[in-house]
Structure 1
């Protein structure tokens, strides 16, 4: 009877109110509510101007450029990162050294420094043959190269880790079955590695979207740059920053939802993302 009584009462243990958690949660909500109230009551912010500029043509052009830059830099970064990752796990010492040096430089130097270096590259490489570097390296190209190469260095490490995570015994088994190295990589290694590579790649894409705002330092006309140019004329600084923030939040939210479903699609059977 004692055991039966214990089983009957046990489920009710989880219903016990934890007053410490309630108090901490309540205090946190109170602080958040107070902050929202203070901001909402500010007489210095013209709230009606925020929706008025949400779909301003200049803002929309900035959104489009931001998305294009993010997509282009990610595609370039994944492609080059895959090549560098293959070099990093090769048996060729020279290729491994090149991959290690690439990651060391482009992941170690701050992104903003890389943007300025590409933007000012004509100062130390003014010409390449008959081509003028100032003509070739526009702010758009400078931003793309900086973001793309920085992302390639990060993707090199992500893809390399994914490839190395596949058990070596599977490579040996594929070799014993007579599969060539390329066949082994394509049919055995990549399908398993991609499940581990997708989650951090999604995080990198979302991070890239937000990091793209840094190209505003070279006037690339992305979302943040457009917002800055508008508030330079109308002095609605906070309002325009809110407009940019809402767009960034909206895009990253959609990207996060997409990432969730992609991870769920590629998750191993019996495991949810």
Structure 2
């Protein structure tokens, strides 16, 4: 199943995308106030059966998506946890050694915006960068998971994430990475939250980014250093993951920081991102 949130920022309506037509969805407002942690937990506990039954009965109102804004597919997450340097080729282009353990950092939850919302270049920025990433959305509380295999029981779904970064703020201004990761609008998410049964193997997904029509990133989740299960298990050893949390799992090579001439983003540029089976994003850069 593919879930989404439709409407103006802060007033999105929860919806289920049609299996047959990506311009049509079914309004879930009568069942839940939002696509949030509580909804995701119910989904994992009850499975798809109740929703499928309502679809067969024609009990869900139809939403025409034409001309409507698509929001992030989950309501504002309790936290956004990120994994750095999780692809060998990206670690190489960054001049970093392959990490022995996942490198963790945080993004502020209020960075999360819709997949096609404007991304703002921060004031004083000269090194704003893009990063296509597989996002994992948590649906059950996870603390001290016993093994990586236990991660399957707490994953509600997957989404496309753009871990937008300001490299000078991140790497040249001292302290943690967080201030180069948490600028306003720096985490477009969506368009959909796709359930694990529909995604299949999360380690067999192609990821792509173009800027102004020029291909920049073209990788595969097969090249992760630490796979999805390991990442979820590992994080649960250090912090409690809650329903609705988002994990950004790292990016492949091809970011502006690693390319000749370092073609960083500027106002007016257009980013287009895609992950197999998870949909596409398109953002234009504006001034912060």
TM-score for the superposition, normalised by structure 2:
0.23
- More strand per residue: 1 or 2? 2
TM-score for the superposition, normalised by structure 1:
0.24
- More helix per residue: 1 or 2? 1
Larger Rg: 1
